[in-house]
């Protein structure tokens, strides 16, 4: 650390120069994050100093968090849902498994998780000492519910289903998983980190939420398709008593107990998340999702016309292809199986897709 500080302008100029080294979103097709909506940025700046870790000092910001959870609860057919804003899908998934573990204390617990699930479950289970039982997928890359059921035994504390798988954009058959959860009286966590703000806005929404009695918790990330600033995740459960299973005493704070994983928590990105939901409404989100889905179809159709076959027919805006190479200049990613993966986020416009196809035509020719 310097002995004598630099003028603020000089520091910011140096930071700005570093930022120039970052990619801009214009060529990024590999990210599940996107440019935040301008209204989220404005809200974020307004709440920069707020700390939800001590909500009694920021009652207005705490009310915004409650409104965010209530809005999502209503969207997920359970207006009375409880929940809180986490740092993202990883934290929400960890917390959901902590709840599942506290609700059913058994020796050597296990949890049944689809093979397509995000690596955050590996972190969660490692931390919590839970054995992972990996349920295989069917031919369309959704979890095979019968095979999942076969993995359940008397040490199983929960099941997971994914709404918008990270790699192939599939939605697991949550209705069937919910049936299994009810039958075995198991906690069912739905990881809708990505698809939670896509599926409700499709012309024909696939059922995945609290309307299904077997669904216990839902993770959804406003910092993905919610176009909020980072970090903004949400964990929703059916009622407050479920969250309270995680309470620890916080004697010197303005609240006497907390169930969150983080202590100090940003209010800024939570305000950003609510701002986008309020500003766009269902109508606005339907338009955003329709655009992303149209771009997904167009990319698949365009690349197939060039002889690059799709790897899956996705339920949400993730397109994957049977090729190990991408046209230069574009950031795509590759799945564990080696398929090229493009996420058609709101920053990926129809023009971007056409430009990618022009470059692809030249490259794959």
Binding site for ligand 0PR (CB under 6 A): 30-33, 88-90, 93, 118, 120, 162, 166, 191, 193-194, 221, 233
194 vs 259 by CB, closer to ligand 0PR: 194
* Minimum CB distance to ligand 0PR smaller for 65 or for 221: 221
Instruction: Pull the structure tokens for residue 43.
Output: 């809200």
Smallest gap from residue 89 Cβ to ligand 0PR (A): 3
Specify the 3-state DSSP secondary structure of 84.
strand
Which phi and psi (to 5°) does residue 125 adopt?
-70, -35
Judged by beta carbon, residue 120 or residue 323, the one nearer ligand 0PR is 120
Closest approach of ligand 0PR to the CB of residue 261, in Å: 12
What residues contact 139, with CB distance under 8 A and at least 6 apart? none
17-29 burial, b at 16+ Cβ within 10 Å, e below that, comes to eeeeeeeebeebb
- Closest to ligand 0PR by CB, 231 vs 302, is 231
Least distance to ligand 0PR, CB of residue 30, Å: 6
Q: For residues 360 and 228, what is the distance between their CA atoms, to the nearest angstrom?
A: 31
Cβ nearer to ligand 0PR, comparing 302 with 333: 333
Measure the CA–CA gap between 238 and 215, rounded to whole angstroms: 9
CB of 13 to ligand 0PR, least distance (A): 27
175: tokens are 């209705």
State the minimum distance, in angstroms, from the CB of residue 318 to ligand 0PR: 9
CB of 57 to ligand 0PR, least distance (A): 26
**Nearest C-alpha neighbor of 200 from the set 75, 32, 313, 69:** 75
Closest CA to 188 of 262, 114, 105: 114
Question: Which lies closer to ligand 0PR via its Cβ, residue 50 or residue 333?
Answer: 333
Residue 135 C-beta: closest distance to ligand 0PR, Å: 15
Say which residue the tokens 């498994």 belong to: 97
Q: Which is nearer to ligand 0PR, 76 or 194 (CB)?
A: 194
Most distant CA pair in the chain: distance in Å?
67
CB 328 within 8 A of CB 363: yes
Q: Which two tokens stand for residue 106?
A: 């058994």
Closest to ligand 0PR by CB, 112 or 302: 112
> Are the CB atoms for 39 and 276 separated by under 8 Å?
yes
Those residues whose C-beta lies under 8 Å from the C-beta of residue 232, and which sit 6 or more positions away, are: 85, 88, 221, 222, 223, 226, 269, 270, 272, 273
């Amino acid at each position: 650390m310097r002995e004598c500080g630099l003028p603020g302008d000089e520091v910011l100029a140096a930071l700005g120069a570093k930022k120039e080294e970052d990619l801009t979103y214009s060529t990024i097709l590999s990210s599940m994050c996107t440019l935040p909506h301008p209204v989220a940025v404005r809200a974020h700046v307004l709440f920069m100093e707020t700390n939800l870790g001590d909500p009694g000092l920021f009652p207005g910001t705490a009310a915004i968090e409650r409104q965010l959870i209530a809005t999502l609860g209503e969207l997920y057919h359970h207006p009375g849902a409880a929940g809180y804003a986490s740092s993202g899908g990883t934290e929400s998934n960890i917390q959901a498994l902590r709840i599942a573990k506290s609700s059913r204390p058994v020796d050597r617990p296990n949890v049944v998780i689809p093979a397509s699930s995000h690596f955050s479950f590996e972190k969660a289970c490692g931390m919590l000492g839970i054995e992972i039982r990996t349920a295989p997928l069917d031919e369309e890359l959704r979890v095979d519910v019968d095979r999942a059921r076969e993995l359940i035994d008397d040490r199983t504390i929960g099941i997971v289903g994914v709404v918008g798988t990270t790699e192939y954009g599939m939605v697991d058959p949550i209705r069937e998983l919910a049936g299994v959860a009810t039958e075995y009286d198991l906690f069912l966590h739905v990881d809708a980190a990505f698809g939670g703000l896509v599926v409700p806005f499709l012309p024909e929404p696939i059922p995945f939420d609290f309307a299904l009695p077997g669904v216990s918790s839902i993770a959804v990330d406003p910092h993905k398709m919610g176009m909020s600033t980072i970090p903004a995740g949400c964990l929703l459960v059916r009622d407050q008593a479920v969250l309270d299973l995680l309470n620890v005493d916080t004697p010197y704070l303005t609240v006497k107990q907390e169930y969150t994983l983080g202590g100090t928590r940003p209010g800024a990105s939570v305000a950003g998340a609510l701002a986008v939901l309020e500003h766009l409404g269902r109508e606005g989100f339907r338009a955003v999702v329709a655009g992303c889905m149209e771009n997904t179809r167009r990319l698949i159709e365009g690349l197939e016309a060039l002889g690059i076959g799709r790897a899956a027919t996705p339920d949400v805006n993730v397109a994957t292809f049977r090729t190990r190479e991408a046209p230069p200049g574009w950031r795509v990613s590759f799945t564990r199986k080696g398929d090229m993966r493009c996420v058609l986020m709101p920053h990926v416009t129809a023009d971007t897709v056409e430009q990618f196809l022009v470059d692809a035509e030249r490259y794959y020719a």
